[in-house]
Structure 1
Amino acid sequence: MPSPGLRRRVEAIPGVPLPHGILGGCVDIVDIEDMHELLGVEWMSLGCCPVRDTGWCSEESPGAIVPPKEFCSPEAEFAEPHTIYAGAKCSTMGWSYEEAVEQVTATLELGEQRAIEEAFWRDKLAMRAVDLTPADGPVSMAAGVAALEGCLAETYGGIGVLHVPAGAAALLGCCNVLSLVDGTPRTLTGNCAVLGAGYSAQNTGPGGIPADPGTAWLYISGPVLVRRGPVDIIPDRAGPAIDIRLNDLRVLAERTVVVGTTCAVCAINVTLC
């Protein structure tokens, strides 16, 4: 084996984010201009109230009582901010400030999707979901998706998002539960699917309870919207990046995101056998 001193420095091996994660084609992404939105947002729910039908009195049913029409109050919903970051540290003899900035920027670009998925699963999906798992325990993947889509259809009625850990996604293809439609994974009913590495890292049920070995948690929600702020490099110049005590160079790339969904969130535990 050649001596390390003889090795030639070359460009790093580039990476590409997973194509069907939360920043893929399934979710709307807004690069915001109003920085106040990075403090969190709230809105009145739309489409969560049911649309009902009513009958008419006719000559065939004189005196029939038509039930009174029902009214529904939209609920206030909200989404809270999360700041994701990548940090790089190296000896000042090994890297320049510009090289450190390039490193953390590329790292954030590759890994931000997973970090967003982890935060959204942990702080929103797992905290809001209704557990549909039967008393007998985990169900098959196909049965789990069917139950989730039924839950969403009953409470929302529009196209929603199926949230699947990347480690379980392959099992949805073997039963034709998912297929690619214009490059986006979708179910037969039209719901799109996020196949997330961050979801695999969490894989917890409602309340944050970890999945048992051989099982996974699936969630479904209404549409998801990701608001993103700009990427900030900290510090913004070379001088403050140097820790003179250790002669280290430290640089951060940060971005604040606000991820929200609407109406019901349902969850179910499935078997991976």
Structure 2
Amino acid sequence: MSSTCPPMTVAAPAVQPYGFGLFSVAQWPVEADPHWRCGVQWEPYACGPARLYPIDQCAEGEPPEKQVEEGTPLVEATPLVVYGGYHCKLPGRTVPADIEDRARQSLALGEQRAVEEAVWTGAAGNSPWLASPDATVLNAAETPGAGDALKAIGAIAALEAYLGATYGGLGVIHVPRGAVPALAFYQQIVRDGSVLRTVLGTPVAAYGGSPNTGPAGEPAPAGTAWAYATGPVAIRRGEVLVTPTPVPAAGFDRKTNQVHLLAEREYVVGWDCLLGAALMDISC
């Protein structure tokens, strides 16, 4: 039976991108030179160790020489592209700008999750990534199973100890969003404005775009989550590009009366010189 009172079309509820993800803990350098889109490299400050020097006022002869390595190994990060879009029938659209807005919103509301997936897995051909064979596994077993998972307190302790022993500054801890309730229950994270932090002040990124995989690419066993520790994260990104232009005429297919637009932008995500991993028990 056809309705005699069809539903009225209204505006969709306002949506905000989720908080406490990777974007909340990242640094956002702005480059005047557009060549960052080819990838970047830098010489880190805090990856080299400071050393002790014994003093013996009574020793004879020349004192031992203070040893300093030549330079610091460069850190590299490669580019990736994140895109969203909108595909619809053009007839009946009285406000063409709404089509472009929906393409842009598709990107704006999904790009953090997409970037997090790329950073966790390297799925966009990007490097570095978290679930990498290069990660130092901090559990007792090199390829831990559910029985080898550290309790939430032990996992954060292991990641903080790793950061303290291998890096001269404040790093970042990366976890799936599903691990946050357990970390909060055990009082391992606190809210600091728009950032989650450990008791020691280390920022924690809660990933929505995380497949919860380990350094061998294996999914975490049920009731567990992989957590990673890195140096500070730097994200470079370009402006949003909407194609084709002009909008929406260039995207209109007269054969189908449909319009198709893409909104995309380039990213380069990298961090300083270290990568630790711990399998964590998130049961309560």
Q: Give the alignment's TM-score, normalised by structure 1.
A: 0.91
Residue 139 of structure 1 pairs with residue 145 of structure 2: no
Alignment of 1:240-259 (within 5 A): 240-259=250-269
AA in 1 matched with 2:195: T
Please give the per-residue CA displacement for 1:179-232, whole angstroms capped at 9, x wherever unaligned. 123442111222111111012xx2111132221222110001000011010000
1:49 is displaced (CA, Å) by 0.6
Cα separation, 1, equivalents of 2:61 and 2:197: 45
1:260 is displaced (CA, Å) by 0.8
**Structure 2 vs 1, CA of residues 84 and 7 (structure 1 numbering), >3 Å: closer, same or farther?**
same
Cα separation, 2, equivalents of 1:58 and 1:10: 83
Cα separation, 2, equivalents of 1:149 and 1:32: 31
| Structure 2 residue runs without a partner (length 5+) | 123-128, 142-146
Residue 212 of structure 1 pairs with residue 221 of structure 2: yes
Cα separation, 2, equivalents of 1:148 and 1:161: 10
Residue 265 of structure 1 pairs with residue 275 of structure 2: yes
Show the counterpart of 1:83.
81
AA in 1 matched with 2:120: W
- Which range moved further: 126-135 or 112-121? 126-135
Cα separation, 1, equivalents of 2:273 and 2:174: 15
Cα separation, 2, equivalents of 1:4 and 1:176: 56
AA in 1 matched with 2:18: L
Q: Is the 8 A contact 1:97 1:249 kept in 2?
A: no
Residue 229 of structure 1 pairs with residue 238 of structure 2: yes
Identity of aligned residues (%): 34
1:6 alignment partner, SS class:
coil
1:7 alignment partner, SS class:
coil
Cα separation, 2, equivalents of 1:94 and 1:130: 57
Show the counterpart of 2:197.
186
Show the counterpart of 1:130.
136
AA in 2 matched with 1:42: Q
Cα separation, 2, equivalents of 1:83 and 1:33: 19
1:30 alignment partner, SS class:
coil
1:161 is displaced (CA, Å) by 0.6
AA in 2 matched with 1:69: K
**Structure 2 vs 1, CA of residues 10 and 221 (structure 1 numbering), >3 Å: closer, same or farther?**
same
1:71 is displaced (CA, Å) by 2.3
Show the counterpart of 1:70.
67
Q: Is the 8 A contact 2:19 2:194 kept in 1?
A: no
1:66 is displaced (CA, Å) by 6.0
**Structure 2 vs 1, CA of residues 139 and 64 (structure 1 numbering), >3 Å: closer, same or farther?**
farther
Alignment of 1:106-185 (within 5 A): 106-123=105-122, 124-127=129-132, 128-135=134-141, 137-185=148-196
Please give the per-residue CA displacement for 1:50-80, whole angstroms capped at 9, x wherever unaligned. 0011011123xx4599654332341111111
1:247 is displaced (CA, Å) by 2.7
1:28 alignment partner, SS class:
coil
Greater helix content: 1
Q: Is the 8 A contact 2:172 2:230 kept in 1?
A: yes
Please give the per-residue CA displacement for 1:117-149, whole angstroms capped at 9, x wherever unaligned. 111111211224211122261111111111011
Matched pairs, number: 268
Q: Give the root-mean-square deviation of aligned CA atoms.
A: 2.2
AA in 2 matched with 1:70: Q
| Structure 1 residue runs without a partner (length 5+) | none
Cα separation, 1, equivalents of 2:72 and 2:3: 69
